[in-house]
Homo-oligomer: A and B are copies of this chain.
Amino acid sequence: MRKSSRHGDPAYDFPVEPDEVDWKLIGLLQEDGRMTFVELGRRVSLSAPAVTERVRRLEQAGVITGYRAVVDQRRLGLPIEAVVRVKVRSLDTPRFRERVVVLPQVVDADHVSGEDCWLLRVVCRSTGDLEGFVEEAQRYGDTTTSLVFSSPVRNRAVGRGMVEG
């Protein structure tokens, strides 16, 4: 793995160039974030210390930013999931960030181009809870709310085939 060093681009000497083995490790750890280094080594035909160093390097390069348990909110009393698009007036954006984006129901918040400049994914215990959230968001701009029926793809792994091949 090597940085594409455009001679001293200061703090952002990126992207990074993983080799075939790095891509395999990235793929394996996206599938099972708790896989041991010994097992990773078996999968890529390297010793445990070798993969350990590769993974540490990927972490320090900011390619792997962390490891997370994936949780099913429906089994935790949070059956309602929705995407709320908000057309926030630009003067209200700082307050929107401070008062809406930070609410615990918000599991994803994206600032995007286009009319609806914010896209919030929220999880709630009830439609009443969702109603309260949307009313709060309404104070900062027009909203459009879509209930999530199902999510056939969720956090699909990023793979080598997407960048070349």
Interface residues of A (CB under 8 A from B): 14-16, 18, 26, 29-34, 61-79, 82-83, 97, 101, 104-114, 116, 119, 123-125, 144-159, 161-164
Contact = CB atoms under 8 A, between A and B. Distances in A.
The CB with the most chain B CB atoms within 10 A, among A26, A104, A106, is that of A104
B112 A83 contact: yes
A15 B158 contact: no
Contact of A69 (B33, B73, B109, B111): B33
A153 B84 CA distance: 14
Nearest to A28: B69
B83 A110 contact: yes
A76 B16 contact: yes
Given A26-B71, A33-B67, A107-B158, 11 more contacts: A62-B72, A67-B69, A68-B155, A73-B158, A108-B151, A108-B153, A109-B151, A109-B153, A112-B146, A112-B148, A119-B146
